[in-house]
Structures are given as C-alpha cells and as structure tokens.
Structure 1
Amino acid sequence: MSSVLRQLSAQVIPVIRMQEAETALTAVDWLHEGGIEIFEITASVPGYLEVIAELAERKDLLVGAGTLLSAEDAHNAVKAGARFLVSPCLVPEVIEAGTEAGIPVIPGTATPTEALQAHRLGADAVKVFPARQLGGPGYLKALRSVLPDIAVIPTGGIELDEVDGYFAAGAYAVGMGGQLATQDEVGEARTEGGEQARQRIVARARHISGRAGTQAGAQDKGTA
C-alpha cells in the first residue's frame, strides 16, 4: 500500500466542485482552516489543472484530481502535481496511466463486478458512487462482506450525520461534496455574509476532521 493511500485512511475527503477557480481555492482555504488537509479537485472546476498546481506547492496539503475520464486527463493531472487520481466510473486507461506514474488511482464503481474488475486492473482502492442512492451503509457493508480485501471509499449524497455509519460499515475513507461547502456559500466571501459563510464551513470541517482523527485512532488500535 502506498504512503499516499495510507494517508487517506479514515479521512473525509472534500470533493471540490466549484464554478470558478478562485471559489475552489477559497473553499480549500476555509476547509483547511477547520483541519482538513486532503482535497480532491475535480475536472469540472474551470482551470482545475492550475488550481491543482497551485495547491500542490503547499506542503500542508495532499491534493488529488477527480472526474478523470481519459488517459490524457490522468497524465495532465499528474503533471500538475496531483498525488492521487479519481474517476466517477471504471476507466481502465486512467488506472493504467496512474499505475505507470506511480500514483494511486481510485476509480468509481457501483457493483461487486466493477469493484473486482477495478482491483484486478490495479486500482489501489475503489470509489463506490453514488453511495447514498446505491443503498448507503447497508450496501457498503454487503459489498465489503464479499470483497473484504478491497478498500472502498463511498462518495455521493453523504450527509454529515451519516459519516460514522459509513465508517462502521467498512469505509476506508469517505468523499463529501456540497455537504461541506457549496458554490453559493463560498460565493458569499465577496459579500457582507462572507464571514458567516466562512464560519459555517470551518465549523463543519472541524467536526469532520475531529471525528476522522478519532476513527483513525480506533483503526490503529484495532490493528495493533
């Protein structure tokens, strides 16, 4: 297991989908203020490669690229400085490109067949997406019962009060998007309501980073 993948263990990973690069950078700053250090910047963010490159220069962050759909996407993300690669579905060429570059790849899967295929293709972990619509923690627990050796990272529609349930069901990490920070909230940074929006997002991040640390400690004890 790579050192990067180990750093993802028991963490909540914000999936940053914003409509402007500046907003994405602000969201990262506010969430980092609350204690989160791992981020997935999606290809849907305008200028996402420049955003990744800027954040990759910061030693206090671990930044990956998401919504990658081709080998070219993967290669460009690696060049920009992404430390891990994520796709919303099973794209073999993304796995191959990441493997060649020595970068962990987390492809999206929805069924046991896809999860096993991704694992056999060399995926370091699999993203179960869309997790909530597929059945939530119950589905994850069932998937883990037949594929216990595959690290799974549920993403999609997960609320703050549901995170513990996913970890209890066997999640390796959890991905969250708008439940942590929305475009509208971060957009308030330029308005009189900006400080209130920042405080809300920082508070969510503190809640999540605090419980993630507790979860990591529990996992360490369980494997000691």
Structure 2
Amino acid sequence: MKKLRLIEQIRESGVVAVLRGDSPEEVVRMAEHAIEGGIKAIEITMTIPFALEAITALAKKYQSSDPSADNYAIIGAGTVLDPETARATILSGAEFVVAPALNRDTIMLCNRYRVPVMPGVVTIQEITAALELGVDVCKLFPGSLFEPSIVPTIKGPLPQANLMPTGGVSLSNLKDWVKAGVFAVGIGSDLTKEAVAKQDFSLITSKAQAYMEAYREAAGK
C-alpha cells in the first residue's frame, strides 16, 4: 500500500525537482527552498559528492505520513545506474528511485523492496519493456528530444503508460506537457541555475512557486 500511496502522491504533486550541486549541503539548501516554494517531490541525483548524506538529511527532516503537514516532502534518488546504488539510496531514506536508462536489475531490486522506480526511456520498445518489468512510471528522457505531442502518440498504443518528461520542461511549455496527459514533469537546472549563479537561493523558492502555479492552472487544480 505504501508504494501505491507514494505513486499517487507524486502524481498529485505534479512537479519533481531534480537537484544537482557541488556538495550535499548545497543540495539540501536547494531542496529546502524548493519545498518552501511548494514542490513536494524532490529527486537528489547520485552525481553529487556524498549524495547519500543529502538524502538522509532531507528524509529525516521532511518525510511525514501527512501530505498536508508543513514538514512533508517525498525524497527520492536520481541518476541511479545500478541495483547496488538503488539499495544504498533506499537504505539512506529514498522513497523513489529514478534512472536515466532502463536497467532490468535496478528495476527488480526496487520491486523487491516495493519502492517506486522511474527508468529513463526513449522508444516504444523501451516503454513496453519497462511495463513488462512492472514499472509504474516511465521517465521520458531527455524530454528535450520531444514535443508534448509525443505523449498522445505513445498513449495511442500504450494508454496504460504513465510518462514523466524530464529535461527540456520549462515554464513556457509546462502547460502543453500537462495538457498532453503526462503523469508529472521533472524540472532540472531551470529551477536552480539563476540561484546558484547569484548565490541567492530564495530565487529557487520563487521559481518553485511559479512552477506550481503553472502546474495547478494547467491541471485545473
């Protein structure tokens, strides 16, 4: 039941913040400001040095059973390339796992622990393979390769596929992706690059607020 609840809460959140940085401390700050701005699904990428420290710190601070609580957020791990890394992130507190590509062993590991896994896919064949392995959400990556019109094209033969474009999603096209019928969207550098450049992390809060407002308007919430 917990896995199904998490998947539904990620869908309700609508926007997943994909965070990269130079240190766990920097990424924790990014996450705190994104959560303050209303984004409740946070993906900490494993390209960050000592990334597990950031996952653990955020999981301890924000994981709550009550989605309406101020200290609630869903903390997950991204750029997970293999099952060993997946298990390490789960033990550190990650509640969902995201990968850039389709890796059978990683998916099987996450299924074993009943943790939502979102592998990167590009082709119909990869999406079909993911569904056969029990994947609940397919990360359409890089999203910049596609236009939002790809979603109904894929859902023609595969209406059961839940798609989450990541990479190339912006405030200018978020509405089109949502209207096309995606499960959620992943937001990367557009959320943080200005804040990092100016060393003003409050800009992440305002950008997160803008993304959530755009999402709610597009989704009619």
1:84 aligns to 2:87 (yes or no)? no
- The equivalent residue for 1:36 is 39
CA drift at 1:187: 5.9
% of aligned pairs identical?
Answer: 31
- The equivalent residue for 1:138 is 149
- Given that residues 9 and 216 in structure 1 are in contact (C-alpha distance below 8 angstroms), is that contact kept between their aligned partners in structure 2? no
Matches within 5 A, 1:51-130: 51-57=54-60, 58-59=62-63, 60-130=72-142
* Aligned partner of 2:175 among 149, 164, 167: 164
- Given that residues 14 and 38 in structure 1 are in contact (C-alpha distance below 8 angstroms), is that contact kept between their aligned partners in structure 2? yes
* Aligned partner of 1:4 among 6, 23, 47: 6
- The equivalent residue for 1:201 is 204
Distance, in Å, in 1 between the alignment partners of 2:178 and 2:209 is: 18
- Given that residues 23 and 187 in structure 1 are in contact (C-alpha distance below 8 angstroms), is that contact kept between their aligned partners in structure 2? no
- Given that residues 126 and 153 in structure 1 are in contact (C-alpha distance below 8 angstroms), is that contact kept between their aligned partners in structure 2? yes
- Which letter maps to 2:57? E
* Aligned partner of 2:18 among 15, 28, 38: 15
TM-score by length of 2: 0.89
Query: Unpaired segments of 5 or more residues in structure 1?
Result: 219-224
CA drift at 1:15: 0.5
1:64-85 Cα distance to aligned partner (Å, 9 max, x none): 1111111101110110010001
Q: How many residues align?
A: 209
- Given that residues 131 and 156 in structure 1 are in contact (C-alpha distance below 8 angstroms), is that contact kept between their aligned partners in structure 2? yes
Question: Where is the helix percentage greater, Structure 1 or Structure 2?
Answer: 1
Distance, in Å, in 1 between the alignment partners of 2:73 and 2:197 is: 22
**Secondary structure at the counterpart of residue 175 of structure 1:** strand
- The equivalent residue for 2:66 is none
CA drift at 1:210: 2.5
**Secondary structure at the counterpart of residue 191 of structure 2:** coil
- Given that residues 179 and 218 in structure 2 are in contact (C-alpha distance below 8 angstroms), is that contact kept between their aligned partners in structure 1? no
- Given that residues 26 and 186 in structure 1 are in contact (C-alpha distance below 8 angstroms), is that contact kept between their aligned partners in structure 2? no
1:106-161 Cα distance to aligned partner (Å, 9 max, x none): 1110011100100101111100101121x220222211222111111011121111
**Secondary structure at the counterpart of residue 136 of structure 2:** coil
1:8-60 Cα distance to aligned partner (Å, 9 max, x none): 11511010111221111111111112111210001011111111011111231
Distance, in Å, in 2 between the alignment partners of 1:79 and 1:213 is: 33
